[in-house]
Structure 1
Amino acid sequence: MTDPNNPYDPNAGQPTPPPQGGYPQQPPQQPGYQQPQQPGYQQPGYQQPQQPGYQQPQQPGYQQPYGAPTAAPLSPAEDKQWAFLAQLGGILGFIPPLIIWLIFKDRGPLTNQEGKESLNFQITVAIFAVGLYILGTILSVIVIGFLFLILAWAVQIVGLIFAIIAGVKVNQGGTYRYFFNFRFIK
């Protein structure tokens, strides 16, 4: 063997040639000795066992979009529960129905329908209440402004009452359509 640091060796720094006949492909086998497996190497005729929870890759023509995990559909009881919570969430405004609808709209048909209905109604109530508050504030210079502020409170109370009524109807197994609702989300 040559020493790459030896300045007197003419072959210093060059790779050593393989032994006569090339490198051996496999080390000699000893009785009772098994060659260690390399990752990704599979012996011929050997099937690797399937691990629980492991899914085979999809067909080459189909790619699942990134960031969109497939969610299991809701059972009828869960669908009814989330539809009820979407309607009853209107007590707190339009944010709870919005969150429930966005998360569960593709997983349950009743939740999709009732979430949209509640969300549309709560947005309608919010628009009317904010408009009345703005009018009441502007017209507070005139004595009539406080009437618009009282009317804004009344609109919010009506929204609260109808959210409770809708939640009870959905919890009983039905659906609910509000008497007055702009369809912002169809």
Structure 2
Amino acid sequence: MTLLPLLLAAYALGSIPFAIVSSRLFGLADPRKYGSGNPGATNVLRSGNKTAALVTLVGDCLKGWLAVWAAARLGFSPLEAALAGLAAFLGHVFSVFLRFNGGKGVATALGVLAGINGWIAFVALSVWLAVAFLTRYSSVAALSAAAAAPIAGLVLLGPDPIVVVLVIVAAVLVWRHTANIRKLLSGTESKIGGRRA
């Protein structure tokens, strides 16, 4: 397999909307029609069904990790495997199955980080958990973790091109949280576990 088919396959994998799949599985409303309208684990949690939210979280994480892992198993270089992870992440954010709309990509990004380097994923997850515990804002936790990932990558990997992939992922995550940043500034952002602001 050459790089282009790999990236297309990774993008298709990333496009699978586990928030909608799990919501249908558990008989819940379409997550795009309540809460933040985001098809992701945090918004599914607002339905009150923790199991559905967990299935969404695990599914979104796994598809990011699987893209990187499969690329490495097929003999692609670490950078090419990281690019496959980026493709899966972009598939989640711009899902072909949702007319190129999608989630914000936090869980999928974590899966990609885990595939690239477990320690980078550990740092990002630790930052997310700490900030989420302190603030109860998923968006603040996500933004903090996004900022931490490239820094951790630079420390652990040095001036590796993979760090550029991490910067791109972080930049997209920040961009996808633009509306949340506005809500935070206006004091209307929903907290974790809340149904609405």
TM tier, shorter chain?
under 0.3
Higher Cα Rg, which structure = 1
**Larger RCO (alpha carbons 8 Å, 6+ apart):** 2
| TM-score of the two chains, using structure 1 as the length reference | 0.28
Provide the TM-score with structure 2 as the length reference: 0.27
